[in-house]
């Protein structure tokens, strides 16, 4: 699959995440469409392919949110790298691995954002945010993951990796 095709998708997801998603949120919990899409691709495909998406998606969310600049970028590349590493360790992807990776990535992503907020002098209600925002948000992301995982598995099979001979 041409990696360039993903950028409009990520842009669309970022627009939805900043406009539509808050309308369907449950309390403070919101699904993270961009993060789920990118991390899921790292899980499904590996090979570092999702890293460039992570940079693009992170910067885009930084531009569209009022978080300290760079917060989304840092969080996005960190969780994507870990998911990519997970793909290497697991030698592939399974639905169970994807679920576990997205849940862990959601919590890690939120935690990094909170740390950046704290470091940049914003007061953060840590316990409340984890209970009311991060944990429900992680569960929300699991629900979003299901269709994304199915789509990306199809894309992965439809556009297989071109394997070069290793001399």
Near other proteins in 34-93, by CB under 8 A: 34, 46-49, 51-52, 54-55, 58, 60-71, 73-74, 77-78, 81, 84-85, 88
> CA angle at residue 77 from 91 to 106, to 5 degrees?
80
Near other proteins in 90-109, by CB under 8 A: none
Q: Which residues contact 69 (CB under 8 A, 6 or more apart)?
A: 62
Tokens of 63: 């531009």
Q: Any contact of residue 147 with other proteins (CB under 8 A)?
A: no
Query: Shortest Cβ distance from residue 139 to other proteins (Å)?
Result: 15
Q: What share of the chain is helix, strand, coil (3-state, %, to 5)?
A: 75, 0, 25
Q: Any contact of residue 25 with other proteins (CB under 8 A)?
A: yes
Q: Which residues contact 136 (CB under 8 A, 6 or more apart)?
A: 26, 27, 28, 29
Q: How many residues bind other proteins (CB under 8 A)?
A: 67
Q: Any contact of residue 26 with other proteins (CB under 8 A)?
A: no
CA dist., res. 53 & res. 66, Å (int): 21
What single-letter DSSP state applies at residue 65? Answer: S
For binding to other proteins (CB under 8 A), which residues are involved?
Answer: 14-25, 28-30, 32, 34, 46-49, 51-52, 54-55, 58, 60-71, 73-74, 77-78, 81, 84-85, 88, 110, 113-114, 116-117, 119-120, 122-125, 127-129, 132-133, 137, 161, 163-164, 166
């Amino acid at each position: 699959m041409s990696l360039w095709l993903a950028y409009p998708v990520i842009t669309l997801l970022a627009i939805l995440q900043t406009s539509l998603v808050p309308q369907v949120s449950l309390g403070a919990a919101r699904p993270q469409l961009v993060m789920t899409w990118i991390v899921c691709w790292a899980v499904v495909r590996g090979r570092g392919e999702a890293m460039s998406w992570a940079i693009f998606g992170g910067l885009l969310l930084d531009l569209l949110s009022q978080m300290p600049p760079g917060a989304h970028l840092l969080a996005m590349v960190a969780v994507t790298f870990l998911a990519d590493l997970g793909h290497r360790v697991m030698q592939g992807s399974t639905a169970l691995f994807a679920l576990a990776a997205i849940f862990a990535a959601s919590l890690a992503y939120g935690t990094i954002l909170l740390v950046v907020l704290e470091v940049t002098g914003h007061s953060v209600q840590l316990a409340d945010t984890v209970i009311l925002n991060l944990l429900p948000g992680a569960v929300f992301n699991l629900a979003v993951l299901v269709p994304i995982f199915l789509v990306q598995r199809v894309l992965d099979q439809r556009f297989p990796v071109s394997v070069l001979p290793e001399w």
